[in-house]
Amino acid sequence: MAVHPIEERYGTPEMRAIWSERNRFACIVAAEVALAKAEAAHGMIPPEAAAEIGRHAPTASLERAKAIELEISHDMMAIVRAISEVSGDAGRWVHYGATSNDILDTATGLQLAQALNLIDKKLRILLRVLLKRADETKSLVCIGRTHGQHGVPTTYGLRFAIWASEIGRHIERLEQLRPRVVVGQMTGATGTQAALGPKAMEVQATMMEFLGIGSVDVSNQVISRDRYAEYFMFCANVATTLDKIGIEIRTLQRTEIGEVEEAFGARQVGSSTMPHKRNPIKSEQCCGLARIIRSAVEPALQNNTLWDERDLTNSSCERVLFPEASILTDHCLRLMATVLEGLAINRAAIRRNLAFLHGINMAESVMIELTRRGMNRQDSHERIRVASMQALVEEKPLADVLGRDSEVLRYCSGADIAALLNPDSYIGTSVSQVDRVVAKLTAFCI
């Protein structure tokens, strides 16, 4: 029976598989095989022993290792014994010169490589969706809002492009952090490599080359957890972007705004008591799970403050953090791509909201033009501010109030004012900005 929601409700099969007990075991076995091969390459153990270990170690059983652990209460040593049992006489060389975290942290490096590959793929899929939506709505003018209040117009394309640009930076961040995070070590009990002898540094480098991951420059018994903290902060940063998108969708789907709506299935139920409801539940789910992903950052940072050459306080914590944050990040990326792909846009509601203040939100346009035509900018600002407040109080179009202002009419005719209050003519370089983002980021898409 499932205990944690990531076992059955949240997450993709691919990311769950990466952090599964069985894949963890396979990565540990791979690290032990690579160690034996590296030691043989540098003359530390017989080549035939390394070959035997390489041939038989993959047949070691997770179930056997767990049975041994019940007897000895040490998970890593249980795996070492399970591998040794299937390796015949060569089993005497398994784990030679290593301490537990040499293997465990190296296995984590392998899992992180797999997880980052999957997150990278999901980021690029989401980017493709955002760029498509940006391009198709680049001229769709809508009301802009600051402080929750109507401002000058923007476009839906610009909104999508801003989110796409953020995802593009996450892809860059992923590539930048990968060499710092995807690493392994073979440094021994306190980091001195004493058990491996004079060729220890070469053994470590060769071992990691066999595994296809980076090699630490220096370490104590464990890989410094600033590397892992960076991974969790990256996941939190990605989740926060998805949270940001989700909040905007939820806001724009409010009944009184109604500009967008999550796709809603023909037989989907919105409420157990209110049959009419069509709720943005997927966006809400992303926003909620982002809180859990961000919560991994604090313990991940504390995991770097271990006693001396190491203690064990990080271990239990990381058994929870790695699968939970990784699986939920991957889940939210997939979910938000689905939301944005199917997002319905209500153009009638957009036009209604754009005209809601009868031109008052276009006050900046008139102010700028008055200044351009000769009025002092500060005087222009104050005159238009007073007119805007009057229009709000009187609930009249701004054009009517300005049409009674002789000073304004000295610079702009009634026809000029009407043109300046047209929101479709006041979107600046929005379309060009979207085109630039699409051109820049399309190559990153899947």
Query: If DSSP codes are grouped into helix, strand and coil, which group holds residue 238?
Result: helix
φ/ψ region of 300 (left if φ > 0, alpha if ψ in -120 to 50, else beta) reads alpha
Nearest to 281 by CA among 271, 290, 294, 272: 271
Do the Cβ atoms of 318 and 223 come closer than 8 Å?
A: no
Q: How far is CA 26 from CA 115, 155, 224, 432, in A?
A: 15, 50, 23, 50
Q: Could you give the residue ranges of the DSSP H alpha helices within 258-413?
A: 281-294, 297-302, 313-342, 347-354, 363-372, 377-394, 398-402, 406-411
Q: Distance between CA 113 and CA 214 in Å, rounded?
A: 10
Query: If DSSP codes are grouped into helix, strand and coil, which group holds residue 190?
Result: coil
Query: If DSSP codes are grouped into helix, strand and coil, which group holds residue 215?
Result: strand
Residues ≥6 apart with Cβ < 8 Å to 51: 40, 90
20: annotated active-site residue: no
Q: Distance between CA 145 and CA 349 in Å, rounded?
A: 15
Q: Which of 147, 272, 276, 406 is catalytic?
A: 147
Do the Cβ atoms of 292 and 329 come closer than 8 Å?
A: no
- What is the biggest distance separating any 2 CA atoms in the chain, rounded to whole angstroms? 102
Q: Distance between CA 297 and CA 129 in Å, rounded?
A: 28
Q: Which of 271, 413, 425, 432 is catalytic?
A: 271
E strands within 148-237? Answer: 149-155, 183-184, 214-215
Q: How many CB atoms lie within 10 A of CB 190?
A: 14
Would you state the structure tokens that stand for residue 318, as one six-digit string? Answer: 């990381």
Catalytic residue IDs? 147, 271
